Amino acid sequence: MGEAKVAKVSVQAEGAEPVVDEVESLADFSLVDGRKKVKWALKEGEGNEFFMYLKDIDAYRPPLHDILRELLPHKSGDPFDFLELPPEVQLEILDYLSLRDLNSCRLTCRWINDLIEKNWHSLSPRKIGSIDFIPGCDEVWGLYFNYKRKLRSFTNVIISRLVLFYGVITSSILSNLAHTLRQSRITVKAIVIHNCLCSCEPEELIAFIKSAHVESLAIDVYDMGDFGKRLLNDPAIQRLRCVFIFSNGDDIMSGIMVDPFLYDMPIDLHGVCRLLADWESASMEILHFHMYSDAEWAADADSVLNAVQYIDARNGYILRNIDEQELRVEVSDGCITFALSG
């Protein structure tokens, strides 16, 4: 049987038939690692089953021989006996492989299959990219690849970002999704929520965040002020690596505000400056922002204010924007906080 292919559709002039290009093997796209910037769409189907639809791929994974050159600089480009390598080197090589390559190795022989099975939990979780999710929507938008698979078919992987927008977040959606993630040992590094209505309780969203081992949260709580306050009062939210709770009634602007959270790397000085610039012009209201950082610019409140160019802060550590909103700047135990003053 020939290898399955992913079809990429090119849109032609109006009235013409779409051109379908078989651009890569199915394995190249369906099983990916952190070296590719992969975007998926998520949809809840019948029986509480979640499906992943491939949307886009931004980067190509380096060839395996480049990885081996880093691990084994003393080796030539010639083949070598993997079975004769020390166990720790074998595992280090396996740790570099994508899911596609790991699955290929498992088909090589029973010994390698047993080696991977035995050490599966010792290998680093593979990243499967960013996921867009419109809760409660039956349609999937923006697809360029004719490929889907069940979310639960991924195991021991990391979702870089889960972006929820233009939908209603219900208790049942959170419960069903948390169950699927837990059963498949899938964790979520960052959650971004904008232009959503939360019909669930704050405690249910917090339980989902804890269950998915989320590190960063950005949420627009426009018309949900009490929801945001109840989130902030929970110790689990306070301990997250980065939290951004804001309010903006503009559909487009809400998505722009969370742009710093859509980067592959953790939010940095550039991202903080971007958020404060939007707040200063009153494009949105920051209800709370905090992040943990060991960077030199984050050493204390004075360093932070100098870095973000708010040198003339009123009363020392209080910032004011053109709408007279005030933020208090605090730095404690490696945590930078911008909170409403008063």
In whole angstroms, what is the distance from residue 273 CA to residue 270 CA? 5
In whole angstroms, what is the distance from residue 288 CA to residue 229 CA? 9
Determine the average pLDDT of the residues in 196-209.
Answer: 97
Q: What is the pTM of this model?
A: 0.77
pLDDT over 70 at 297, yes or no: yes
User: Which residue type is seen at 210?
Assistant: K
pLDDT tens readout for residues 22-68: 333 333 343 444 444 678 999 999 889 999 998 877 544 555 555 55
Confidence tier at 17 by pLDDT (50, 70, 90): very low
Mean pLDDT of all residues belonging to the chain: 81
In whole angstroms, what is the distance from residue 126 CA to residue 99 CA? 7
Determine the average pLDDT of the residues in 203-225.
Answer: 95
pLDDT over 70 at 102, yes or no: yes
What's the confidence (pLDDT) of residue 35?
Answer: 44
pLDDT over 80 at 290, yes or no: yes
- DSSP run (H or E) holding 200: none
Beta bridge partners of 331: 336
CA distances in angstroms from 218 to 209, 325, 334, listed in the order given:
12, 20, 20
In whole angstroms, what is the distance from residue 265 CA to residue 295 CA? 14
